[in-house]
A and B are shown apart, each in its own frame.
Chain A
Amino acid sequence: QKEVEQNSGPLSVPEGAIASLNCTYSDRGSQSFFWYRQYSGKSPELIMFIYSNGDKEDGRFTAQLNKASQYVSLLIRDSQPSDSATYLCAAARPSYDKVIFGPGTSLSVIP
């Protein structure tokens, strides 16, 4: 079982819709979680981090964490074509010595 899992996609949503990206993790001791956006040929860009159960909102982005279910999600409201990218979910190991990345979900927002 991989430590951090994501649907590889591609996930296609129409412009203006809500895109929902999901991530599960296997190590119950993980405490910190991150969402990165990566455009093709570019480096990962931090979008959100979340430590506490519940929702965390930043503009059009909402991260949701459910530690009991070992589940993290990212909602993108009013999706724009510029949101088309690969979204990487990452979890910090309980020892906090490294961050484990999921395989990424490719999102395509159709105009």
Chain B
Amino acid sequence: DTEVTQTPKHLVMGMTNKKSLKCEQHMGHRAMYWYKQKAKKPPELMFVYSYEKLSINESVPSRFSPECPNSSLLNLHLHALQPEDSALYLCASSQFLGQGGETQYFGPGTRLLVL
């Protein structure tokens, strides 16, 4: 089973709203990732968690706040977003961060529209 689930599938929010994206995997993977993808562009890495600790933050604006409550769950909290933040937000997981464990499996994504 290589399933990563994400909720919600679609989200529309205003610039003053607070919302959260959720990601879950039950493959025992210890590395989890958030990516942002704009149309016709490759996924752009935002955050990496390894063993529930933030390992990489790709200089993402503070209006995006990640959280890893346990080894199966990854959240992305959104606050005061801008219209240019509208994109497909992808969660991925891999066995671990390191050689041999870096094969990533993606969830279906959350399509976010900021009005």
Chain A residues within 8 Å of B, Cβ to Cβ: 31-32, 34, 36, 41-46, 49, 88, 92, 96-99, 101-104
Contact = CB atoms under 8 A, between A and B. Distances in A.
B102 A32 contact: yes
Contacts of A103: 41-42
Interface in B12-55: 40-43, 45, 48, 55
B99 A43 contact: no
Contact of B99 (A31, A42, A45, A49): A31
A14 to B, nearest CB: 24
Contacts of B111: 41
Interface residues of B: mostly helix, strand, loop or mixed? loop
B42 A88 contact: yes
B90 A49 contact: no
Contacts of B105: 46
Contacts, number: 52
Contacts of B102: 32, 92, 96, 99
Contacts of B108: 42-43
B56 A98 contact: yes
Contacts of B2: 46
Nearest to A6: B42
A44 B42 CA distance: 10
A72 to B, nearest CB: 15
A40 to B, nearest CB: 9
14 contacts: A32-B99, A42-B108, A42-B109, A43-B108, A44-B43, A46-B2, A46-B103, A49-B103, A96-B97, A96-B98, A96-B101, A98-B56, A102-B42, A104-B42
A61 to B, nearest CB: 15
Contacts of A104: 40, 42
Contacts of B72: none
Nearest to B45: A98
